[in-house]
Amino acid sequence: MKPILLFDIDGTLINIKKSFTRELIAEICKELNIDPGEIKKYSFAGRTDRDIFYDFVSHLPESEKLYIKVKELYLYLMKNHFSNEHADVIDGAMETVQFARENNIEIGLCTGNFRESAFYKVEAVGLKNVFDFGGFGCNHADRKHLPGEAHQDFMKTKGYEPEPANYVIIGDTPNDIHSAKYFGARSVSVSSGSFGKDQLQKHNPDLLIDNLVQMIDWIHQKNTI
């Protein structure tokens, strides 16, 4: 059976420009009267949006209600302001996605982004109607549950049930590797984000690469294309 590829977004397919992120955070903090200095304490890499935003407001009064407001405002700003000018496509991303499409390999998303913002991002850089299933950071604080969610979405969309080993989780952080192992999938780790190859190697991915196009030969070796 051909592999089912599940792509992370940030640090794997695209990088969001820091200037846009800073402006977005500043607008959210201004609108909701939150100290913007608080969010500087948190790392975003490899985490789900639910985890990040709840962590951001958990120390504040009525944190549950505030989390919902932050999420709604964030999605509104992403929908109305995010464009291809705010992102850089990572080298090899488009070529790898095109390879998969040309070879009828199923491709989905496995990302900590909220579902809505995930599609805002990929569509803005020219990947509209490419990914039709996935696991997203809406319902889980722990990223390890996302491949299982993508699996459920795949079955709902495609109408059949693959084995976990048929999936390949592709990402740029240790948490992507851990989530693949938790689900029973294979992992491809690419050092295009905030973690270097030495840091990623410690977590024993099935494949460690510098550029996504290096994955193409590995797919040919491991599977019948």
pLDDT digits 0-9 by tens, 161-203? 999 999 999 999 999 999 999 999 999 999 998 899 999 999 9
Residue 212 has pLDDT above 70, yes or no: yes
Q: Are residues 199 and 136 in the same domain?
A: yes
Residue where a domain stops, chosen among 29, 57, 81: 81
What pLDDT was estimated at residue 205? 97
The reported pLDDT for the residue numbered 60 is 80
CATH of the domain at 147: 3.40.50.1000
Sign of CA dihedral 52, 30, 117, 211: negative
How many CB atoms are located within 10 Å of the residue 72 CB?
A: 10
- pLDDT-above-70 percentage for the chain: 95
pLDDT of residue 42: 62
Q: Of the residues 47, 66, 81, which one is the last residue of a structural domain?
A: 81
Comparing 27-31, 69-73, 126-130, 189-193, which segment has the lowest mean pLDDT? 27-31
Q: Say what the pLDDT of residue 59 is.
A: 79
Residue 225, pLDDT score: 53
Tens of pLDDT, residue by residue over 58-115, are 778 888 898 899 899 999 999 999 999 999 999 999 999 999 999 999 999 999 999 9
Asked if the model's pLDDT at residue 19 lies above 70, the reply is yes
Q: Does residue 72 share a domain with residue 102?
A: no
Q: How confident is the model at residue 29 (pLDDT cuts 50, 70, 90)?
A: confident
pLDDT of residue 41: 61
DSSP of 210-222:
SSTTHHHHHHHHH
As a whole number of angstroms, the distance between CA 216 and CA 149 comes to 25
In this prediction, residue 91 carries a pLDDT of 94
Residue 209 has pLDDT above 90, yes or no: yes
69 and 100 co-located in one domain: no
137 in helix, strand or coil? Answer: coil
Range of the domain at 130: 4-15+88-222
First CA to last CA distance, the chain: 9
77 and 100 part of one domain: no
Count the domains in the chain. Answer: 2
**Residue 58: its pLDDT value, please?**
77
Q: What is the pLDDT of residues 149-163, one digit of tens each?
A: 999 999 999 999 999
For residues 105 and 165, state if they share a domain.
Answer: yes
